[in-house]
Amino acid sequence: MSGAWISAAAIARFAVAGSVLTLMAGGQSAPKAARIIVEQTSYFALTAKAEDVYRVRLHASDILEKLGLPRGHVLRRQGDSDTLPDVMWFVEYPDEAGHQRSLKTRLESPEFKAVRDEMKTLISRADVGIWEQN
């Protein structure tokens, strides 16, 4: 076999890193990787409710998984803070279409609505951020 061989894993690493990669065969460029969408929610618990917020967020992730959606990651703050959230949740979607499907599914789910309603009784506020990773 002549020429250079590049593994699919190597191509994926370069594409995900956003590098321009020209393949040896025919000088074709690798397709640009889709933009990964990251959704992040920060929960600020009412006094003495941080553990309940954490428990409800974990339950929400269980429901997401049951609905066929990615469950994401739930983080609990360590230590005291007057400015940082008590609980954070973040999830990655392979593209904007995946994020939109998730939003639609969550809005249409009575079970997920019940969790949102419970969460509202436990927090002073929630901040949502949508991020793009190239």
pLDDT at residue 71 tops 90: yes
Structure tokens at 60: 């929400």
pLDDT at residue 117 tops 90: yes
pLDDT of residue 29: 52
- Count how many Cα atoms sit within 13 Å of the Cα of residue 5 in the half-sphere of its side chain: 3
pLDDT class of 70 with cuts at 50, 70, 90:
very high
Domain spans of the chain, in order of start: 1-33, 36-133
pLDDT class of 132 with cuts at 50, 70, 90:
very high
> What is the rounded distance in angstroms from the CA atom of residue 134 to the CA atom of residue 131?
10
Query: Residues 91-112: pLDDT tens digits?
Result: 999 999 999 999 999 999 999 9
Domain 36-133, what fold?
Alpha-Beta Plaits (3.30.70)
pLDDT of residue 16: 38
Label each residue of 70-110 as H, E or C.
CCCEEEECCCCCCCCCCEEEEEEECCHHHHHHHHHHHHHCH
pLDDT of residue 34: 73
Query: Residues 5-50: pLDDT tens digits?
Result: 333 443 333 333 333 333 344 555 555 567 999 999 999 999 999 9
- Mean pLDDT of all residues belonging to the chain: 83
Q: Does residue 49 contact residue 55 with C-beta atoms inside 8 Å?
A: no
pLDDT of residue 134: 80
pLDDT of residue 5: 37
